[in-house]
Amino acid sequence: MNLQNIKRPYDVIVSLGNACHPAMKLREHNLRTFSGPLDWCYSPSLSDVNRLLQNNFKGFMDLKNMHLIDGSDHLLKDGIFTQPIKSYYVKDSYYNILSVHDFPVIPNQEWSATYPSYKERLNYRIDRFLEKITNGQFILFVRWSANYNQAVELRSILSQMVKGQFNILILNPVDGLQKVNEKNWEVDNICAVEVSNLPFDNSTWNYILNGITLTS
């Protein structure tokens, strides 16, 4: 597929990572209607996301698989910095996915002190995500960084999960690239483009998302 082929209305548009910028840019363009389970995580490998989807999120961010790693960011509420509170980096070692914005740094408390409320919120997002992609008639999945084989595997997995029709948009960052470069992978339902390695660049996202709309 080329970029022009995916420019149409969709019932549902969701981010599959690899970090928060796809979700943020979809929201800025009024193309995002709910917070998904991967929106505020860092998922460097689509292969791990594919495994997560294939498992229907079973065991995702289970406490037994999570551990604190070096680094910190800021606490977000649905992707918005509401107050200047630092947050821990906590990694799910089973799926190799990192929570970046969910666990506030609270003096004299372990990172896991807020885990119960986090897990309740995550489970709600998972259930809503699965309901939306199961029942949507036409869905667009957006992923930053994936190779050909990973994208083809994703397509196969989604074909078992999605009852309606779907497209996959892959944005692959390239250092020094100044324009959007379409890649013809010759796979139905997959549009792959090379973009500048500037995840929040407005000109890139404006060009990519122009002509993509929500049905309601």
Task: For the chain of 216 residues, list the mean pLDDT of each consecutive stretch of 10.
Answer: 96 96 96 94 97 98 96 74 82 97 92 96 97 96 98 98 97 96 95 97 97 94
Instruction: Note whether 136 and 171 are within 8 A (CB).
Output: no
What confidence score (pLDDT) does residue 76 get? 77
Instruction: Note whether 143 and 152 are within 8 A (CB).
Output: no
Both tokens of 115, joined, read 């885990």
C-alpha–C-alpha distance, residues 162 and 189, integer Å: 13
What confidence score (pLDDT) does residue 85 get? 85
What confidence score (pLDDT) does residue 74 get? 81
Both tokens of 125, joined, read 């997002």
What confidence score (pLDDT) does residue 80 get? 62
The whole domain housing 90 covers: 3-214
> Within a 13 Å sphere around the CA of 107, how many CA atoms are in the beta-carbon half?
0
Instruction: Note whether 214 and 9 are within 8 A (CB).
Output: yes
What confidence score (pLDDT) does residue 111 get? 95
Number of structural domains the chain divides into: 1
